[in-house]
Structure 1
Amino acid sequence: MPNTIHLPHSPGRRRRILLAIVPFAVLFLFGNTALSSYVNSLWFSSLGYGEVFWKTLGMQWGVFAAVATTTFLLFYGTFFGLKRIHRDDLPGSHTIILNRQPVTIPLGSLMRWLSVGVSGVIALVSGLAISADWPVLARFWYTPKVAGGTLDPIFGRPLNFYLFTLPVWRLTADWLTTLALFAFGIAVLFLFIANGSRALEGRREHYIKPPWHGLSLASAFLLLMLAVRMYIGRFDRLLGDHTVFSGASYMDAHLMIKGLLILCVALLLGAAVATVSAFADRGRRWLGLAVLPAVISFVALQLFSWYVNSFIVKPNELVRERPYIGYNIEFTRKAYGLDRITQREFSAQTTVESADAANNQDTLKNIRLWDWHALQDTLRQIQEIRTYYDFPDIDIDRYDLNGTTRQVMISTRELNTEKLPESSRNWINEKLIYTHGYGITMNSVNGFTAEGLPLLMLGNMPVQSTVPGLTLARPEVYFGQLTDKDVYVKTSQKEFNYPQGQSNNLTSYEGSGGIVLGGRLRRLLIAFDRGDLAKLPFSDDIRPDSRLLMRRNIIARASALAPFLTFDSDPYIVVGGDGRLSWIIDAFTTSETFPYSRHFNFAGDSINYVRNSVKVVIDAYDGTTTFYVFDPQDSIVGSYRNMFPGLFKDGSAMPETLRTHVRYSELLLKLQAEVYGLYHVTDPEMFYNREDLWTPASESSVDAQGQRSTQPIAPNFVLMKLPGESGTEFVNILPFTPANRNNLIGWIAGRSDGAHYGSAVVYNFPKTKLVDGPLQVEARIDQNAELSGQLTLWNQQGSRVRRGNLLVIPIGNALLYAQPIYLQAERSPMPELRLVVLALQDRLVYGPTFEAAMAGLFGGAASSTSTAQQTQSGTPSPAASRNPKERPDPKASCSARIPEAAKYLSDYQRLTSEGKLGAAGAKLEELKHALDELAACK
């Protein structure tokens, strides 16, 4: 007798086994999820968004349960149905040889358990996959009611159909088509097993007829889902990108959309035939006929499309595609907000008078001479104080200081625990003591001390202010860009605040942010979730009122609260009217299903619709996070507001002291400039011929090895008076050049202040006038003999020249070009401003200070690389003013200048290597005078 493997078959015994297994399976699969959900609920509640968490969790689990249950029933039903269809052909058991002993496997019971297991796994995977896309379904459920609105020109559907309904149709169709493919595969597997069993048993007379029933039904389901995909695919024709334009083409509108509908009907007919074949006597033949209508329709569609494309479209492409190019232009401009941009003419005159300096003093006083890279290097030397501080970014903003609006540069002093000494890297220091950064630095964009350092308005520790009324009430930075680790506050340990002489200033957290740790059980659960099980439950420093500050990275914090938004990776810090520090993050709603709009890359995603609808404000001390809606016309953010009414506030609710620092998003302006470069052309024929393609201007950059390359110029924040406007405002500007050329053709300005916030203006230059671009102005700098020679000399003898960004600033009816040039010693990481270059179209000047360069540009003074006046300026040299009888012998004077020049050179080299660039520059000028006199001796 062969041995038999017995599987549990008694219902009572099976139930007991399941009851024993299920709790462990649930704990294994969902234990971590449940614990994480518990801690997340505490975190959301600590921010006042508990309702957001529970509603999100409910939607996720609701979607998961619905999809998983449906998937399980479909798959288990498929297994069950196929098993019944093939019950006469499936073997009940199978005997194998193990250790020379026959062993019988009960295949019937094994397949029953296998069907449950496979169905459960596929249901679990499907549920998790679809629940991850819960925002797509939620947007559809909470679609805002909009009366009227724009309709697409092909199907006549409203835009909300493409933004909300079509993504759900796609998601559902993809899910069901995947299930249909699995069901078809299972049917093929059952057919293979059944035919194999018949072949082994020698039952040839019934080899064909019975096993095809299951495959026919599975084929009908698959053909049905393919028909649905074809129907939805008709709308996808409006979303594709072609070489010249995007959206439906002539062939799509006149052939493919109708052809896909015919193919859809053919697939439905095939599904009906396949269903009939499951019950027909000759099911195999009927099943073969089921796919025939779809095959014929597909082949005919391909032939017709080849004919139409080759003989109707290609010979007359512009004529045929003209209306569809027009649709693409109209809808792309709408999708990226280009239809909100105002166009104006800018004469780009070249004279000094056209700059109208007298009426543009606010613009001239706020020209940014500090390149942010140079400023960051300098701050890291003079304001980090300790090695564990860092300045991760430099922000540019405007502030009302003593009744005058000034453009300033701000950087946050954050704590980087990775830079703590290795001996200090322990749990107490990293979690309880070193918990926060401290303060900010603020300097004017063009302020320099006598030593070439930034002129700080806020700086040092404790924070010192040089501007009356500008103070910090809460300089501690618990939430920032480098705060990636959890910390515990309100503990028995005092927190490090800032270094103070030989000791440290200590503090204790006084805010209301964070999760209260509470009793031992709650503390144990939190520790398990946060991976701190070995320390947190056993620390004597942790009290019941202690708090956990988690998700302190501001981008991660905002993303956890609103994962359906796209966030700018470059937030900026703001000093509020109450002296508190707050972060502002630009948040965007995006879509990839806006009809007739071209796709572009944005923040790593391919999109064809974007709105900067939300501004997120995060308090740097207690982490309070608020979402303000600044574009209520955006229907996507409208659906999110319907979904989470407690999460969003109107933009008008933002405190005025923060509202004055809201800006036009740099990330959005870069994207709009890229799109506008092609879609500023609204005539389909010019668009088709690419006659007027623009690109953002480029500038040169030099790496650490001295290799020069070109890169697109970054948008530049400027406090200026726009041409044609009466007041000074904070704008974000970016110049354009024609494609593959270096001269300027226009510029775009994103406006940030007051009622103009969110609007943009494009200034077009005359196409008959050649206006220098940044690369051409830099070439003019390189070709200036004296300036180029000075830069070459500075680049030697232990120092390196660093050229700041070339700024292109519209002023009056002219363009002003400004570039700061720094000198940096090899042994000193601090660059020092040595020259300022200013230029108009027909004039280039430079000076050691901005005032000197301005005097050269508008006052006619001679350019100079030194603060000392040259003899050519009209002031006689000491030698020239002497009485001829008192003049020394020329040969003796020349001989004396040789060792003097050598000494100047030696002093210059020494001072440069010591980082004393100001004194080194003076010695260099003396060396030049000595060399000039030696040259005159010849």
Structure 2
Amino acid sequence: MSNATPTPGRLGTRRPLAITIGVLVVLLIAFFAFASVYADVLWYKQLGYLNVLTTQWYAAAGFFVAGFIAMAVPVWLSIQIAYRRRPVYARLNSQLDRYQDVIEPLRKLLTWGVPALLGVFAGLSTATRWQLAMLSFNSVSSGQTDPQFNMDISFYLFNLPFYQAAVALFSAIVLLSGLAALITNYVYGSIAVAKRELRVAKAARIQLAVIAAIYIALQAVSIWLDQFATMTSDKGLITGAGYTDVNATIPGLQILSVIAILVALLFIVTAFTGRWRLPLVGTAMLVVAGLILTMGYPWVMQRFIVDPSERSLEEPYIARNIDLTREAYGISDVEEIPYNATTDATAGALRADAETTASIRIIDPALVSASFAQLEQFKQYYSFPEELDVDRYNIDGKSQDSVVAVRELNQAGIGSSQSWYNNTLVYTHGYGMVSAYGTERSADGQPVFLEAGIPSSGQLGKFEPRIYFGEKSPVYSIVGGTTKTKPVELDYPASGEQNEQVYTTFAGNGGPKLDNIFNRLVYALKFQSEEILLSDAVTNDSQIIYSRNPLERVKKVAPYLTLDSDPYPTVVDGKVLWVIDAYTTSENYPYSKVESLSSVISDQPEASNAFTLDNVNYIRNSVKATVDAYDGSVTLYTWDENDAVLKTWQKIYPSNIKPMSEMSAELMSHVRYPTDLFKAQRSILGQYHVTDAGSFYSSDDAWVTPNDPTAATDTTKYQSPYYLTMKVPGAETPAYSIYSTFIPKASGTSSRNVLTGYLVADADAGAEKGKRSADYGKLRLLTLPKDVTVPGPGQVQNNFNADPAVSKELNLLSQGSTNVLKGNLLTLPVGGGLLYVQPVYVQSTGNTSYPLLKKILVAFGDKIAFEDTLPLALDALFGGNAGVDDPTNGGAEAPEPDPAADNGGNTPSTNSTLNQALQAAKAALADREAARIAGDWAAYGVADAALTEALTKALAASNQ
């Protein structure tokens, strides 16, 4: 038995050991936490945005302290007052005696511990909502007022949410203080129930009555604020206050708030008189009045007054909703242009739109990624995105739409060479920008590159081609740590002119330095990689780069912005920059319709995103951001200088955003109207293009974006908007634009796939330093006449598929081991009507196959054409004289037909022979250039021989 009982000596030996182990565990956990925080400090400091992190810390800490004190002090005072004012000779029953026996030894702990615990919870709650308070404290006037209360819009955006949160917090504080006072007074005899009689000591009566009065007064404030919340309520016919709200709910809330103040005063009277009857009766009346004024009376008014005459009574409030929704989404200035579209394709109809038709993009960025990969990837450790981007460059003084992508690093392609050393120190970056003409193809259907190859060469001039920061970059890399005489970072593989791979050493400032053992230990812990600490390849010059996705970097330095989902790379001022559009948003704009942002930008029906939590009813493209693909530097530029939300955030984060005036001319020439904003606006305009309240109520002219007719696997996918350079009716010159179409919204089971509207935004900001063009962002809505049936995208696609001649050729193209892929179906308002253009690709089923552009489908009205090139297709569609450049005539305008030259079609004319020869020469020239860029000299020789032969035939035909 004696052996089973530990001796005091053993206990004394074990206790210090246990304490030591516990302290070490705590210190280890604390160091891990510190390492994570310190790594964040190093990252933000290197990037130049440390104030973003410190502002969050200081604000969160300050509001934690404020919340802690606001909760803990009143609860502590409530307990203290109740205890100190307890009756000295209170007669307690046996049950309370037992309570006191249990509580008294713990009284001091509970007196301090309970308030402290509640204070911690309140502090955590307020700390997480520091943005709400900071926005209210720094709010900037919008200069606009709501139509009901004439309050500045900023009151709803910034102040009202904070006031409501503050009242809710203080109500909770007062309620918990009252509960603490009630329990303390009961336990210590200030409140007693004897012989069915409630006895309340004077001190307890005063304390509880005052607390109740404060609580009811806070409810009066909350009720008063509720009337303003009707401006953003979406429970009725529209978002915002309707007839019933204005004439019943709002007056009822105002009356109820006054009643609550009177009841609070009755509790104050009770504190002095000791009569509880009046405040209790008043409280009951308050509850009854609340039911009548906020539920009963509004229901009666809605049911018996509004519903029978809803259209006429709600008309002024629907008008408010229309006006403020259009303002909140930036569509109030949309220019509506009646477009009396014709459906007859007549000869020469496109002459006035020659500039637009010459800029029609026939290369589909969603289909040619495989072509880029096959022709320009070179190694398996490079890759391109599944869908490429669209940009434009000034080539020989002319704006040229192009399809672009960066050649990013794909470490999965390293294969058996995977190791920490290779993945972290050797394979660190991608290489080069690849760009293809959007309007051209080679003779065999390949893209024609204007920038390609390794090393990069082409029309974009000299620029830094290394891509250390991209959408597919590794989690982290360690760069710049070796001497320049012995670099280890693989720059690019051996090419035809070089027998060895080229290495480089990062020379920028892209990440925190690993110049001491402590920093290396911190990042070894962060990335769970002891090699960072132990490897001799990590030197004092090494930098660790991480958080490399452009969207992630901008989100971290500007957490208050909502980012566009489509960043795109562009060559600007000798650098590859990622350009990212950023938005300020709110869901508190009065009378504006609330939308799920993720729903409207997803190209999917709203029902598929019914549970999203990113509701907005106000959006502005307030910031343009860039991320340098080489060193990861982030630059933010103000884009909407009048946005009250951005100006408020700039007061919280001063000096983080540069003015637009600092944007270079070249950068200005590459920013564009953002895709996600345009999608949100087209979603709203589907309903809110109607500005007449009566028609809006009837929903007799609601539109919707058509489904994508080329989406084979998802028939519910909306058609994406497209960027094109074109001249829109109402515009003076062609401009880089983004557009989308509308068809009637389905009514029940019936739907008509005919065009009703065409929305286009001028996406070209110009090329002037720090100043965007006056037309940038101009929205034009072409409204088509109801008595003319213009086929919609779905109907046109069906016409293509059902046409016998087209089907026959497509079947021929798809014979054997090939697939036919239909590209984006573009719609252009030219020739007095709507022209549809669709590239058709052919792809073999082999492992190394890629799409080749072989045919062009075009449609105008119900007439279609299917030819090898776009000009030929347009000529066929418009009776042989579309008025566009003839590709077989060296770019000259197609000549007028000469009846004397017509030989009945039995034998080709001299002009036809010449044209065929010139067409062959142009194709051979394009093939030769493509072969040169690709370094395929065998193909170069074949194409050169074909060019010589074609030119010989052309000269012979010319002599004839």
* Distance change >3 Å, CA 196–CA 782, structure 1 → 2: farther
* Distance change >3 Å, CA 515–CA 250, structure 1 → 2: same
**1:473-493 deviation line (CA, Å, top 9, x unaligned):** 211111111235122211136
Match of 1:255 in 2: 248
- Do structure 1's residue 813 and structure 2's residue 823 form an aligned pair? no
Match of 1:718 in 2: 724
Match of 2:699 in 1: 690
CA distance in 1, matches of 2:347, 2:654: 53
* Distance change >3 Å, CA 494–CA 184, structure 1 → 2: farther
The equivalences for 1:115-126 within 5 A come to 116-126=112-122
Match of 1:292 in 2: 284
CA distance in 2, matches of 1:218, 1:387: 72
Gapped runs of 5+ residues in structure 1? 1-19, 97-103, 878-938
CA distance in 1, matches of 2:62, 2:858: 64
Is the contact made by 1:91 and 1:108 (CA closer than 8 Å) also made in structure 2?
A: no
TM-superposed CA distance for 1:723, in Å, is 2.0
CA distance in 2, matches of 1:187, 1:443: 76
CA distance in 2, matches of 1:614, 1:352: 44
- The residue type paired with residue 463 of structure 1 is S
1:364 corresponds, among 353, 357, 369, to 357
The equivalences for 1:295-694 within 5 A come to 295-301=287-293, 302-353=295-346, 356-392=349-385, 393-421=387-415, 423-465=416-458, 467=459, 470-483=460-473, 485-492=475-482, 494-500=488-494, 503-528=500-525, 530-532=526-528, 534-578=530-574, 580-603=575-598, 605-694=614-703
* Distance change >3 Å, CA 76–CA 652, structure 1 → 2: same
Deviates more, 1:456-465 or 1:812-821: 456-465
Please give the secondary structure, in 1, of the residue aligned with 2:655: coil
The equivalences for 1:86-97 within 5 A come to none
* Distance change >3 Å, CA 78–CA 786, structure 1 → 2: farther
1:170 corresponds, among 153, 161, 164, to 164
Please give the secondary structure, in 2, of the residue aligned with 1:584: strand
* Distance change >3 Å, CA 129–CA 813, structure 1 → 2: farther
Deviates more, 1:761-770 or 1:43-52: 43-52
TM-superposed CA distance for 1:205, in Å, is 8.1
TM-superposed CA distance for 1:595, in Å, is 1.0
Deviates more, 1:623-632 or 1:301-310: 301-310
Please give the secondary structure, in 1, of the residue aligned with 2:715: strand
Match of 1:860 in 2: 880
- The residue type paired with residue 880 of structure 2 is G
Compute the TM-score of the two structures, normalised by the length of structure 2. Answer: 0.80
TM-superposed CA distance for 1:125, in Å, is 3.4
- The residue type paired with residue 843 of structure 1 is K
CA distance in 2, matches of 1:32, 1:155: 53
Please give the secondary structure, in 2, of the residue aligned with 1:757: coil
* Distance change >3 Å, CA 702–CA 606, structure 1 → 2: closer
CA distance in 2, matches of 1:353, 1:322: 46
- Do structure 1's residue 787 and structure 2's residue 796 form an aligned pair? no
**1:725-766 deviation line (CA, Å, top 9, x unaligned):** 332210001111121221111211111223211221111212
The equivalences for 1:723-738 within 5 A come to 723-738=729-744
* Distance change >3 Å, CA 109–CA 258, structure 1 → 2: farther
Is the contact made by 1:517 and 1:548 (CA closer than 8 Å) also made in structure 2?
A: yes
1:130 corresponds, among 116, 123, 126, to 126
* Distance change >3 Å, CA 820–CA 289, structure 1 → 2: same
- Do structure 1's residue 108 and structure 2's residue 114 form an aligned pair? no
**1:497-542 deviation line (CA, Å, top 9, x unaligned):** 22226753211101123222332234334544x3446232333222
TM-superposed CA distance for 1:78, in Å, is 4.0
Is the contact made by 1:472 and 1:575 (CA closer than 8 Å) also made in structure 2?
A: no
Tell me the C-alpha RMSD between the 2 structures: 3.5
Please give the secondary structure, in 1, of the residue aligned with 2:377: coil
The equivalences for 1:197-208 within 5 A come to none
1:778 corresponds, among 797, 803, 814, to 797
CA distance in 2, matches of 1:32, 1:171: 35
Is the contact made by 1:191 and 1:212 (CA closer than 8 Å) also made in structure 2?
A: no
TM-superposed CA distance for 1:50, in Å, is 3.5
Is the contact made by 1:67 and 1:126 (CA closer than 8 Å) also made in structure 2?
A: yes
Please give the secondary structure, in 1, of the residue aligned with 2:710: strand
* Distance change >3 Å, CA 661–CA 273, structure 1 → 2: same
- Do structure 1's residue 764 and structure 2's residue 756 form an aligned pair? no
Match of 1:747 in 2: 758
Gapped runs of 5+ residues in structure 2? 1-19, 599-611, 747-751, 767-772, 888-902, 909-960
- The residue type paired with residue 155 of structure 2 is F
1:158 corresponds, among 152, 157, 178, to 152
Please give the secondary structure, in 1, of the residue aligned with 2:307: helix
TM-superposed CA distance for 1:811, in Å, is 1.7
TM-superposed CA distance for 1:670, in Å, is 0.9
Deviates more, 1:656-665 or 1:37-46: 37-46
* Aligned residue-pair number: 828
CA distance in 2, matches of 1:406, 1:363: 12
Please give the secondary structure, in 1, of the residue aligned with 2:503: strand
CA distance in 1, matches of 2:375, 2:576: 22
TM-superposed CA distance for 1:35, in Å, is 4.7
Is the contact made by 1:799 and 1:825 (CA closer than 8 Å) also made in structure 2?
A: yes
- The residue type paired with residue 76 of structure 2 is Y
- The residue type paired with residue 679 of structure 1 is Y
CA distance in 2, matches of 1:387, 1:86: 82
CA distance in 1, matches of 2:444, 2:874: 21
CA distance in 2, matches of 1:411, 1:63: 45
Please give the secondary structure, in 2, of the residue aligned with 1:802: strand
The equivalences for 1:228-267 within 5 A come to 228-242=221-235, 244-267=237-260
Please give the secondary structure, in 2, of the residue aligned with 1:360: helix
TM-superposed CA distance for 1:290, in Å, is 5.0
Is the contact made by 2:192 and 2:199 (CA closer than 8 Å) also made in structure 1?
A: no
Match of 1:59 in 2: 59
**1:38-73 deviation line (CA, Å, top 9, x unaligned):** 433333332233344434433332222222222222
* Distance change >3 Å, CA 115–CA 397, structure 1 → 2: farther
Is the contact made by 1:752 and 1:758 (CA closer than 8 Å) also made in structure 2?
A: yes
**1:825-848 deviation line (CA, Å, top 9, x unaligned):** 233452222321011114210013
* Distance change >3 Å, CA 556–CA 114, structure 1 → 2: farther
Deviates more, 1:793-802 or 1:551-560: 793-802
Is the contact made by 1:360 and 1:812 (CA closer than 8 Å) also made in structure 2?
A: yes
* Distance change >3 Å, CA 821–CA 516, structure 1 → 2: same
Deviates more, 1:539-548 or 1:563-572: 539-548
TM-superposed CA distance for 1:614, in Å, is 0.7
Please give the secondary structure, in 1, of the residue aligned with 2:61: helix
* Distance change >3 Å, CA 133–CA 207, structure 1 → 2: closer
Please give the secondary structure, in 1, of the residue aligned with 2:473: coil
* Distance change >3 Å, CA 197–CA 54, structure 1 → 2: closer
TM-superposed CA distance for 1:243, in Å, is 5.1
Deviates more, 1:32-41 or 1:302-311: 32-41
Please give the secondary structure, in 1, of the residue aligned with 2:592: coil
1:835 corresponds, among 842, 855, 863, to 855
Is the contact made by 1:695 and 1:739 (CA closer than 8 Å) also made in structure 2?
A: yes
Q: Give the % identical residues.
A: 30
Match of 1:825 in 2: 844
